[in-house]
Chain A
Amino acid sequence: MLQQAFNGLVGGAFYALLALGLSVIFGMLRVVNFAHGSFYMLGAFGAYVLLDSLGLNFWVALVTVPLLLGAAGMLVERVFVRRLTRLDPLYGFLFTFGLALILQDAVKHRYGVQSQPYPRPSALSGSLDLGLFDYPAYQVFVLAVSLLTCAATWLILTRTRVGTIVRAATERPELTRALGIDVGRWVAPVFGFGVALAGLAGVLAAPMRAVNPLMGADLIITVFAVVVIGGLGSIFGSVTAGFAIGLITALGDLYVPALSQTLVFVVMAAVLLWRPAGLFGREEAAL
């Protein structure tokens, strides 16, 4: 049971990283980034390609792939998303959805649909005695990286000047601009940051999960549910709901395996009925 709970937290680590990126992007841009799952998949493929064709190991990938994807994300924001922000939000959905399909099919075209192998980094191949049970060192590492990243993001948002500006622009973009603050120049970096988080999650997933073009599409639906449960645009809500949903699905696997895939959506429906803005969302944030 405890072991399964730990599995759940590790799964939650991925939900939390992805939901965090989605939330940061949504907060600042009011765009639901449907391509988020594809960026996660590209993160995993990035790690695979670095190893396979350049011989660069996991640790190199862990640093460079999120940076490269973050830069690509900024470019996507500058070239495409920015042009859509003045239009109906529907155009943002359509664009990111189309981008998701294009990225997914491009990778499928090049590498096929079969899963690519990616070895665990040798330093993390053993297992750790966590007192109650032994646990693979790699999974412990994933959990730690995710928690640290979420904590660091939280600190940036609450303890730095740019964090204050991003929070201000998230809550009241017009008022922030009326104060003479150039919100526009922070939009691309924030989008890039969210994409980089997805890339980081992808690199972390490569040694644990099958690296294939559909890995993002499979995961992202659950992540959307996580974001809705936590409250769209709520940073704290996304992370908390990410870990909670990880736990719930893992324990669901154990006790009601038939329901484990639907459990997330049952929780989502219940939360929406009870608190339409999500557990940590505010009604006005939806405006």
Chain B
Amino acid sequence: MGAPATPPPVLTARSLVKDFRGFRAVDGVDLDVADGAVHALVGPNGAGKTTLFHLLTGFHRPTAGRIHVGGRDLTGKSPEQVARHGVARSFQTTSLFPQMTPREHLELALQAGTTLGWRFWRSDRALRRFTGRALDLLDQVGLAAHADEPAGALAYGRKRALELALALALDPRVLLLDEPTAGMGTEDLTRTIELIQRIRAGRTVVMVEHNMSVVAALADRVTVLQAGQVLVEGPYAEVRRDPRVISAYLGDAHAAH
């Protein structure tokens, strides 16, 4: 494609392959995500988007290919190592600790990068030193008023906001969001788009997203996947007009609008 004057990529994947017992879920994907961009991954179900996410975050080990973030080879690193190298992710299905409050979630995430390490006998009061930062983050995503309610009791949109805050707690260079607006009504949807626009400042966002209006509102570049391969890559305006994309995916989505 080679659009000129794009900043150097912060995240690159080269010839990524993932096989599951003879089924090739990701088949030679190349991905360049520019520093500071919002990059959307779209494609029909089964296109390999979520598998690609799992590869990029260390939850799956690639069968072949390499992954670099900020010039560092993260191929085959464990999820916790990838997280510590500045790549944070949210999950597709709502994933929180139902018994803990939002504040406790963030305190837990904030201590992960510190040297508390093995000193397990340290009282959980050691976590309190993160309270201020935790409340800041909750404020950013509009959850300050719900800091001490059990996460399991939060409304759906608030749970998703807490997931974003959790990912932000790692202060990631690259933020991977797996369908951040899935299952949302219009009100939550608008709020989430605003939120992502705010938190993208100073970082790179890669998101899997089905909702084309969200992609249109947020994404600088779009990669369309189909059957584990990259079908098209480019700016949203170009990609949406590409005949291959229309026939593979966008056509259906537009028809449905």
Contact = CB atoms under 8 A, between A and B. Distances in A.
Interface stretch (A91-99, A138-146, A169-177, A223-231): A169-177
Contacts of B127: 161, 164
B97 A179 contact: no
A161 B116 contact: yes
Interface residues of B, number: 34
B99 A161 contact: no
Contacts of A167: 97, 99-100
Q: Do most interface residues of chain A lie in helix, strand or loop, or is the interface mixed? A: helix
A174 B79 contact: yes
Interface in A176-194: 177-184
Contacts of B122: 160-161
Nearest to B122: A161
Nearest to B109: A179
A178 B59 CA distance: 9
Nearest to B107: A164
A171 B95 CA distance: 10
A178 B166 CA distance: 10
Contacts of B84: 180
B91 A175 contact: yes
Chain A interface residue bracket vs B: 20 to 34
A263 interface: no
Contact of B80 (A161, A163, A164, A181): A181
A21 B124 CA distance: 22
A175 B88 CA distance: 10
B23 interface: no
B121 A174 contact: no
B247 interface: no
A183 B80 contact: yes
A161 to B, nearest CB: 5
B57 interface: yes
B95 A161 contact: no
Given A174-B79, A178-B91, 9 more contacts: A160-B121, A161-B124, A167-B99, A174-B59, A177-B79, A179-B108, A179-B170, A180-B112, A282-B98
Closest 4 CB pairs of A and B: A162-B120, A180-B83, A180-B112, A177-B79
Interface of A: 158-165, 167-168, 171-172, 174-175, 177-184, 282, 284
